[in-house]
Chain A
């Protein structure tokens, strides 16, 4: 219950902030990115948290969504709103392709396989220049502001779309967690062989989780590039910028919890911006070093995620007679 109060508060703050920020400014962009990455972390959370399968290849779905909607826009003038669904659909196909052979893999093997898939997509995008523009990247075409074509005058609509996306993905997460699928996923996590024997179709459950997670991630890829307006294979399919980052956000916040990704994103994204601003004028790489040190510190201090802070605090409060 406590966690939902915190979630509600954070959402309320996020909803109110755009009213106080410069509509084309830097901070509203940070807010939008925070919300988008929180949503991505939540999508990852479905596989990484509920199914307990640590994926380091979610960039594959993200990039597929990004490239699909952008290429459809450039080549056919298709609105990104529709391209979003096309990207999600393709990403879910990719999720099936990736999940089928890797599902039986345990622990680290699964993680390594997903990492390889993400990198495969990145290399393909780099090499297939005729389709993707190659390493040079693609720009989302400049358009006159038109909500139907996902083009806006200011960043404010992007922020609210990101907020809605976060709420939607969280709703999916909770629906899975609380429903029959959640029980089945927890059973698989507990003892996969026993789960099968009592009637859980482990393959179908794991595949479903992967497809849902992949589809959501693909849709979020579209949302991201409509904000960023430019991307290349190393960004869209990037291991560190996307795959690691969305996983970290869920983990630092609290993997497997609905509140975790929001807390994680609220911590990590501003931290990155802060490190970049403050320290990139110093030596190259200094900001990343600071960032890495903070991450390492948080993992050592709270291996189960920052969300446990709230539990620890409240249990201290209860001890007072």
Chain B
């Protein structure tokens, strides 16, 4: 029974992990860059939601679009002014530019907000619904539903809007896309901003059951990368499967390992996947 409960919790959390990580895979898919600073935008999303709660009385879940917007704006500038300039530089330069952005964002938050831990209290925080013998935690459920909604909007956007199709065209063949009149520089800004915005949205949505502090990104870095690699770098559908898998693995591991080792389990899964199936669970074999 404990297993089923852990499985359920894992799936609910996993849905959110998917939304958080989709941004990372989207950026890679369109631009070929692994954004090591992605988790910092999670932190930004969480802070925006926290401040909306503290000063405007908004529930973090309601504030999630604000988090999206804030990260979108910052991401737009970061891509336009910084990352966009190294798209043709050697991969090392790209990797370390994003690392520089990571340090910049993390310490800006430290300077502006201080290092103390902050969390929210919401009326439904400790509520849970009964589903037969299982308990469904309400914060988890709300986070999951929001993630599904977000995912649905994204799916519609990528599949049916002009922007979405233009982005996919740019991802597949930038030169051809340009020849068709698509402004690839604009698309890259769009993809990056969208990607980090999604991660920030996820951050707001998990705030009811986590705490925020400037270095919280570090706790999610390996998690996000595991999701993305499991699903195949560049595959949005893969990020969904990866997210659910990681959620379940993490949840199940609480049954067997003390809390300090849980991250270790995740790392080991990560390394094993990279070693034996780097193209992801559903990716095409090389």
Does chain A touch chain B in the assembled complex, meaning CB atoms less than 8 Å apart?
Answer: yes
Min CB distance, A189 to chain B, in Å?
A: 12
Chain A residues within an 8 Å CB radius of B108: 285, 289
Contact with A along B95-122 (1 / 0, CB 8 A): 1110111011011111100110000000
Contact A255 B92 (CB under 8 A): yes
Chain A at the B interface: SS class:
helix
Closest to B85 in A: A300
Contact A111 B95 (CB under 8 A): yes
Contact A293 B260 (CB under 8 A): no
Contact with B along A274-293 (1 / 0, CB 8 A): 00000000011110110111
Chain B residues within an 8 Å CB radius of A108: 28, 34, 91, 95, 233
**Contact among B82, B91, B109 for A300, CB-based, below 8 A:** B82
Contact A112 B225 (CB under 8 A): yes
Contact B90 A292 (CB under 8 A): no
Within 8 A of B (CB), among A233-269: 240, 244, 247-248, 251, 255
Chain A residues within an 8 Å CB radius of B276: 101
Contact A296 B278 (CB under 8 A): no
Instruction: Pick out which of these stretches binds chain A: B50-58, B153-161, B266-274.
Output: B266-274
Chain B residues within an 8 Å CB radius of A292: 100-101, 103-104, 107
Min CB distance, B89 to chain A, in Å?
A: 4
Within 8 A of B (CB), among A36-60: 48, 54, 56
Q: How far is the CA of A93 from the CA of B149 in the complex (A)?
A: 48
Contact A286 B267 (CB under 8 A): no
Contact A285 B229 (CB under 8 A): no
| Residues on A facing B (Cβ under 8 Å) | 48, 54, 56, 101-102, 104-105, 107-109, 111-113, 115-117, 119-120, 123-124, 126-127, 240, 244, 247-248, 251, 255, 283-286, 288-289, 291-293, 295-296, 299-300, 303-304
Q: How far is the CA of A115 from the CA of B98 in the complex (A)?
A: 15
Q: How far is the CA of A97 from the CA of B237 in the complex (A)?
A: 32
Q: How far is the CA of A291 from the CA of B99 in the complex (A)?
A: 12
Contact A113 B263 (CB under 8 A): no
Chain B at the A interface: SS class:
helix
Contact B34 A296 (CB under 8 A): no
Q: How far is the CA of A251 from the CA of B275 in the complex (A)?
A: 26
Q: How far is the CA of A111 from the CA of B92 in the complex (A)?
A: 10
Contact B264 A105 (CB under 8 A): no
The reply on B142 being an interface residue by CB < 8 A is: no
Contact with A along B106-147 (1 / 0, CB 8 A): 111111001100000000000000000000000000000000
Contact A112 B34 (CB under 8 A): yes
Q: How far is the CA of A15 from the CA of B220 in the complex (A)?
A: 44
Contact B260 A126 (CB under 8 A): yes
* Chain B interface category by residue count: 35 or more
Q: List 25 A-B contacts (CB under 8 A).
A: A48-B92, A54-B95, A101-B274, A101-B275, A111-B34, A112-B229, A112-B274, A116-B270, A116-B274, A119-B267, A120-B267, A248-B99, A255-B90, A283-B111, A284-B115, A285-B107, A286-B107, A286-B111, A288-B110, A289-B104, A295-B96, A295-B103, A299-B97, A300-B85, A304-B89
**Contact among B91, B96, B97, B214 for A247, CB-based, below 8 A:** B96
Closest to B82 in A: A296
The reply on B261 being an interface residue by CB < 8 A is: yes
Min CB distance, A304 to chain B, in Å?
A: 7
Q: Contacts A117-B271, A244-B99, A303-B89 known; A285 to B110 CB distance under 8 Å?
A: yes
Q: Contacts A54-B91, A111-B34 known; A299 to B274 CB distance under 8 Å?
A: no
Closest to A120 in B: B267
Contact with A along B219-236 (1 / 0, CB 8 A): 000100100010001000
Min CB distance, A185 to chain B, in Å?
A: 16
**Contact among A116, A127, A248, A295 for B271, CB-based, below 8 A:** A116
**Contact among A119, A288, A296 for B107, CB-based, below 8 A:** A288
Q: Contacts A109-B274, A109-B278, A120-B267 known; A296 to B100 CB distance under 8 Å?
A: yes
Closest to A286 in B: B111
Min CB distance, B191 to chain A, in Å?
A: 17
